[in-house]
Structure 1
Amino acid sequence: MIQGIAAAVIWCLALCLLPDLRRRKDQSILVAAVTIATALTLNVDGIYMAGDSLLGNRNLLDLVANVFMVVGIYFLSRAILRAANVSETVDIHNRSGQAVLGMVVVALIVSFSLVEAPQTSTSFMRDFGSQWPAAAYSAVQFLYIGSVVAITGVTCFRFRGEMARPYFRVAFVFIGLGCALAVVLVLAVLGMDVLHLMGELEAMMRLSYVYDAALVGAMVFLCVGLALPPVARRLERRSDARAATVLVERLSEPWGRITSGRSEIRLNVSPTAIDRQDAPKRRLHRMLVEIQDALFVDPHLAQLLSQNDVDVLREAEQHLDARFAGAGDRRTRSLGKGGMNP
């Protein structure tokens, strides 16, 4: 039940990221969301039983799910760290991170191969966790997850104040809280592994409630934090397009008067172009440039402008300056368009 809820939350995040698929250069967040959601989905009892039967009823699907999980955590961390810190050292850390991830996957495979798990179990660690290889198998996975999310969470809180827009700062707080809960989850798992080896099954079961609560909490906070920037960016672009459309209408009359004698360079707007979300801003920019060019060539044309026309021109310039300034902020862009590059 808990795995299904967590998987559903992550799949919702993936759906939030899909509309901006073409705008993003780095797909790390989407890859992370799909990979982690797949790992959690494979652990849903009905899906696990059916899938593992196809793999010989040897719990190989548990290994597959855990490999998906650590790979997803790696991509998640890479995207968040890149959004928070745009320095070149992040790429160097990515290369070392890939090496560590490779070693973790190998360690998972080796430790899993030493576990005696002769039949399919939807509670792998509960049924086989008394074995040392199983404890090592779990510890390798969760020590890796714990260290990665701890670094990521600290980075989020460290750099949240440098984000250009308020919703980016809020998103980083949510992500940081999600990482903190993920660390609690990891500590709960490691505690359960130790208690299982000691034969303290009742204490292990009590600690499992902490695990369940931390899992759902971590996924909710992480998903809200990761979904907030791309959703906010889409709403911002729509608002920007509406404001640009209004300015285009207000600027049309003075633009027509000023550029009437320069038809060879006047704007040619096709009906299909207006349907594009960025078309109003492009049209506004083109109109403003044509007016400025005309006034530069023939300064006397300024006499055709009323005070209201001058005010509209100033508003158009300010609107475009604000949009271009926002687009040029790399810290803003990396999280909003990428999910994170959100």
Structure 2
Amino acid sequence: MQAIVFDEFGGPDVLVARALPRPELRPHDLLVRNAAIGVNRADVAHRKGAYGRAHFGDADTMGLEIAGTVVEAGPQVQGFAVGDRVMGIVGGGAYAEYSRIDHRMAMPVPPGLALADAGAVAEVFVTAHEAMFHLARLQAGESVLVHAAAGGVGSAAVQLAHAAGARVFATASADKREAVAGFGADVFIDHRGEDFQAAVARETAGRGVDVVIDFIGAPYLERNLRSLALGGRLVVVGLLGGAEAAPLPMDLLLFRHLQIFGTVMKSRPPAVKQAMVQRFAARWLPALADGSIRPVIDSRYPLSQAAEAHRRMESGRSVGKILLLPDAS
């Protein structure tokens, strides 16, 4: 099968196509012929050396997210059979024509959702659900501020919050205003031209929002806390702006009864990741089936052009997910 590998850390050009054997099936695995592969920021970090080695996780190849058709099932698989359309999260090995996936990390692709689109669902929607609903306990009638709302997880978070009946504040660059509003944002904030803390204070009459979902990290920490209402919850999902923050204003935490959570999927134990997938599926697969929520796709590249897909992600111009298509290579 064709797969994407790299022999040294570096820029997108280190990614090359190479013929590799199909992955060996384990008792709980499905072998999937991939129709679409999601590109994630974790893949870019992996390529640059953030995890210390090229062979990290569950496979010798990179990639975390797939959608395709089951071609073989292990003896301990339950709920899936050869020929089923599935989507889900793998511990590595997505950048290939075939991937193995533990069946407990897989979800059925709802009728009406194309396989070529389903590759844009699992990683971002599961992460968004975990952050907003499992950790931050967002409820209908509450308000949430979603940063980087034009990205993969951000666009998913806006949709889920809107569908759940929350008031959604969203930050992104001004050129992405229309797209983000289309995801369901009630208040758009241009992160380059506006101070989001001031915008939240203005729009909430000084009360603040109940939840903040943040991908930026250190530069936003204090303003995030000052944007929260009494009893508010901050969930940190990414560190795009850096990890070293100024001293934390502890008086805000204490007197405003705030909570801060951090979440990341890649390094979690298998049982934890399985539970995350299953929580999302139980609540939201019907909404995917009826179109209430939808994968947002920025662009599609043949698998052999993985380097171009990484360049697109690093450009900062994308809105939604970037996909690799094995059949187009």
Q: Same fold (TM over 0.5)?
A: no
Normalising by the residue count of structure 1, what TM-score does the alignment of the two structures yield?
A: 0.22
Bigger radius of gyration among the two: 1
Normalising by the residue count of structure 2, what TM-score does the alignment of the two structures yield?
A: 0.23
Q: Is the strand fraction higher in 1 or 2?
A: 2
Higher relative contact order structure (alpha carbons within 8 Å, sequence separation ≥ 6): 1
